[in-house]
Structure 1
Amino acid sequence: MILPSQAFAALPAGLRDPLLEEYRLIAQNYVEGKWLPSELSGGRFSEIVYTILDGHAKGVYASSPSKPQNFVQACRNLENNANEPRSFQILIPRLLPALYEIRNNRNVGHVGGDVDSNHMDATAVLSNASWIMGELIRVLHNLAIADAQQVVDQLVERRIPIVWQSVDMKRVLNPKLKLQDQVLLLIASCASQCNVDDLQKWLDYENKAYFSKILKELHSQRLIEYSEQHRTVHILPPGSKYVEGLPKEI
């Protein structure tokens, strides 16, 4: 399995690190309900991706992102790169100006407007940025779409110092925390959803009946979304907010 740290090994650190950081910011701010920062990162993300596409077409990557004087025209010029994969030549270059436009000419960039569109715009930014990240990984590593998506899911996992992770194991490094708090920390550290059986394994907790009761209580408090049928849990925005108040260090 390709690890997030390997996902963009072909890129210079000056492009790889900003790309990963901006995408993580978009995803994490969205989960936490911080619509404005999530959208603004879409503009910086677009500039980084443009620089990567331009370097891929030329066969030489720039050492750091650059902002073209005319961003829309620069993206149109990428469509002249006939030898590039279709997504690098047409699809992504046509998505990037839209992401940039949300930053510059929607409510995120300016005060005013009849309707607050921040949540809707942030959703568009996250969806498009996620697709772009998956496509970059798919092309640069010659991966199947499903495999590329798995890498993208790993990229958005929240970094919580008190949660240790190695391959398929996680541990909360402060066992003195309440069980409910440990559960929320582990769920919050997952990119999308957590499997209930994995949670119990990470906690070394064997009482399935009581564990299910805890999850139902957290679900009723709207801190998590718990599906008994599918044995999965998601963190909800109130749960993310609660986790922000928990100790993150060991």
Structure 2
Amino acid sequence: MGLAPEDAFSVLPTTLRDDLLNAFDEIVKNYRERRWEPSELNGGKLCEAVYTICKGWLEGGTYPARADKPSRVPNRCWDMQTVYQQVPNSRSARILIPRMMLGLYDIRNNRGVGHAGAEVDPNQMDATVVLYTSKWIMAELVRLLHKLTIEEATAIVDGLIEREVAWVWTHGDKRRVLRKGLTWKQQTLLLLLTEAGDVAEADLFRWLEHPGLPSFRKDVLKQLHRDRLVEYDTNNRVVHLLPPGVTAAEALVAAEP
């Protein structure tokens, strides 16, 4: 089944889908920028949307327009296991996903996020748990809604992580920066922002239509690496956007004329 990332939650009401995707996007964005506390806080918002979707799925696919914030969330998650016990093939929606949500909520409430004097300060380890638990939950929702394999659902969620930039044109395996007046370095950062994970040097060179590969390596990639905006692996010829590079690229997006 060839499902595009933008269609992953098309069965949901638009506003509920936006609640889910906006919370997930904020987790990813804040993690990239090493903003640990906001990254963890948005785990709670994600859980509210996920709870609403699971409940709607278990009740026959009837979804409200917006995410619901139930009282005593941990209790409601535990209740799903028994309340919907008779729903066939429902283990993921009533047991697995709700139990993962319990972990996210516990980090939100008891690990120094949102509360002065809590036992643990916001940190990268907890934020990493939030990020990858959120990715697992999102992939499991996609699998549940569309009857996909785990591998197919995970690939779709990886596609969701890619940042949408209005003036980066995408068509198949082609990318073009449409905004004029940017340096080669700035264009490179923007292209990397729209991609998830490592990007091949050859792809960046092709997308930019840079006049010379030796110059591109020396004057663009190596300098961005020196400035700690990207990690440039010269052995495997791949480039990865680092947190300061995310911040620089997001500043360019924010400064859109």
TM-score (norm 1): 0.92
When the two chains are superposed, the root-mean-square deviation of aligned CA atoms in Å is 1.9
Q: Shift in Å at residue 117 of structure 1?
A: 3.3
Contact 2:30/2:36, CA 8 A, preserved across alignment = yes
Describe the superposition over 1:159-195 as per-residue Cα deviations: whole angstroms up to 9, x where unpaired: 3233222332221112421111111111122122222
Q: How does 1:1-250 map to 2 (within 5 A)?
A: 1-59=2-60, 60-80=62-82, 81-82=84-85, 83-113=88-118, 115-213=120-218, 214-246=220-252, 248-249=255-256
Q: Shift in Å at residue 115 of structure 1?
A: 4.8
Distance across 2 between alignment mates of 1:42 and 1:114: 18
Distance across 2 between alignment mates of 1:181 and 1:216: 14
Contact 1:195/1:232, CA 8 A, preserved across alignment = yes
Q: Shift in Å at residue 158 of structure 1?
A: 1.7
* Structure 2 unpaired stretches of 5+: none
Amino acid paired to 1:215: L
Q: What is the DSSP-based 3-state SS (H/G/I as helix, E as strand, rest coil) of the residue aligned with 1:245?
A: helix
Contact 2:111/2:119, CA 8 A, preserved across alignment = no
Q: Shift in Å at residue 19 of structure 1?
A: 0.6
Amino acid paired to 2:11: A
Describe the superposition over 1:187-225 as per-residue Cα deviations: whole angstroms up to 9, x where unpaired: 122122222221112111252222222312222221111
Greater mean alpha carbon deviation, residues 229-238 or residues 79-88: 79-88
Percent identical: 44
Amino acid paired to 1:138: R
Contact 1:161/1:249, CA 8 A, preserved across alignment = no
Distance across 2 between alignment mates of 1:32 and 1:148: 26
Moved over 6 A (4+): none
Q: What is the DSSP-based 3-state SS (H/G/I as helix, E as strand, rest coil) of the residue aligned with 1:222?
A: coil
Contact 2:37/2:123, CA 8 A, preserved across alignment = yes
Q: Shift in Å at residue 54 of structure 1?
A: 0.8
Q: Shift in Å at residue 63 of structure 1?
A: 2.4
* Structure 1 unpaired stretches of 5+: none
Q: Shift in Å at residue 17 of structure 1?
A: 1.4
Q: Number of paired residues? A: 250
TM-score (norm 2): 0.90
Amino acid paired to 2:27: I
| Residues 113 and 104 of structure 1, relative CA distance in 2, 3 Å threshold | closer
Contact 1:224/1:235, CA 8 A, preserved across alignment = yes
Distance across 2 between alignment mates of 1:142 and 1:73: 28
